[in-house]
Amino acid sequence: MTTKSLTSEPRKGHPGPVVAEFEGGFLNSMGLCNPGIDAGLEEVRRYKESGAEAAVMISLFADSAEGFADLARKAAQAPADFLELNLSCPNVRDEYGAPLAASPGTVAAILRAVKAVTDTPLIAKLSPNVTDLDSVARGARDGGADALCLINTLGPGLLIDIEAIRPVLYNRTGGLSGPCVKPIALRLVHAAARSAGLPLIGTGGITTGNDALEMWMAGASLIGVGTAIYYRGEEVFTHILDEMTAYLERKGYKTLEEVPRMAPAAGEKGEDE
């Protein structure tokens, strides 16, 4: 379970509407709404104390290496299984400029700064909205990331209310999630698995067991589900597991690990080639 990205202070986020559905999925511009690091960590503590078994990834957002390191120092006191560094929110450009995940050097420096203050495994959440994701993925690895999470939302995109002739979202634009982003998520996960050589959390448009199997075949070790909760309810996780199990049984595999990964294309470059 991944928390909403936590910032040093509480944030209200953008005024509504902050989400809009369209035929391919959703557009969101939440604007990093969160209770702030202190209240967020308290929630995680209460969740863990309730006996919940799910591993918790505490997601952090800051606008500098020092800012991330400060948050990570605090998070080290909470029962986090992983820390996710969100380097890729697409909806706060007015406040923070281009996402940090646009630059391999910046990504490496942030990872190094955080690695120096915590032993908790680090996940770098990267953006699909860059021209050379492979270099950014290698930057995260070189800085000390233990895993990558791909992809954050795509875009941003725009939806227009044709009656009012204005954007549907208050913040005008927002990141795309849902079924329409799955092919891009699969392509980027498959490429990053080879270029960075790190474990990957694959997410983006995963709605069914067959989607999850595609993500596994692309190279993901863990599979993230977000928007699909809207379509299939909280039972989506059980449904996906049942659908994956039906595939394994039909194909005669005993475990998911037996299911092969998709081969790279002929001549496709591997790690650091």
Among 25, 31, 204, 224, binds ligand RRO (CB under 6 A): 31
Work out which of 153, 203, 207, 227 binds ligand RRO, going by CB under 6 A.
Answer: 153
If the CB atoms of residues 120 and 171 are measured against ligand RRO, the closer one turns out to be 171
Question: Among 252, 137, 115, 235, which Cα is nearest to 194's?
Answer: 137
DSSP sequence for 228-250: HHHHH-TTHHHHHHHHHHHHHHH
Q: Which is nearer to ligand RRO, 95 or 249 (CB)?
A: 95
Spatial separation of the C-alpha atoms in residues 57 and 53, rounded to whole Å: 13
**Residue 89 bears catalytic tag:** yes
**Comparison of 226 and 264: residue with beta carbon closer to ligand RRO:** 226
d(CA 133, CA 154): 13
Applying the rule CB under 6 A, the residues between 238 and 267 that interact with ligand RRO are: none
User: Taking CB under 6 A as the rule, does residue 32 contact ligand RRO?
Assistant: yes
Q: Which of 120, 153 has the CB closer to ligand RRO?
A: 153
Tokens of 94: 């007015």
From residue 67 to residue 106, what is the string marking binding to ligand RRO with x (rule CB under 6 A)? -------------------x--xxx---------------
Candidates 23-31, 36-44, 110-118, 211-219 — which segment interacts with ligand RRO by CB under 6 A? 23-31
Position 7 contacts ligand RRO (CB under 6 A): no
Report d(CA 50, CA 47) in Å as an integer: 5
Q: Which two tokens stand for residue 83?
A: 């820390």
Q: Rule CB under 6 A: which of 171-190 touch ligand RRO? A: 175
What is the pairing mode between strands 25-28 and 19-22?
Answer: antiparallel
127 binds ligand RRO (CB under 6 A): no
Burial status of residue 135 (CB atoms within 10 A of its CB: 0-12, 13-18, 19 or more): middle
User: Which candidate, 192, 211, 34, places its Cα nearest to that of 125?
Assistant: 192
* Residues at the contact surface with ligand RRO, assessed by CB under 6 A: 5, 28-32, 86, 89-91, 152-153, 175
Which residues are annotated as catalytic? 89
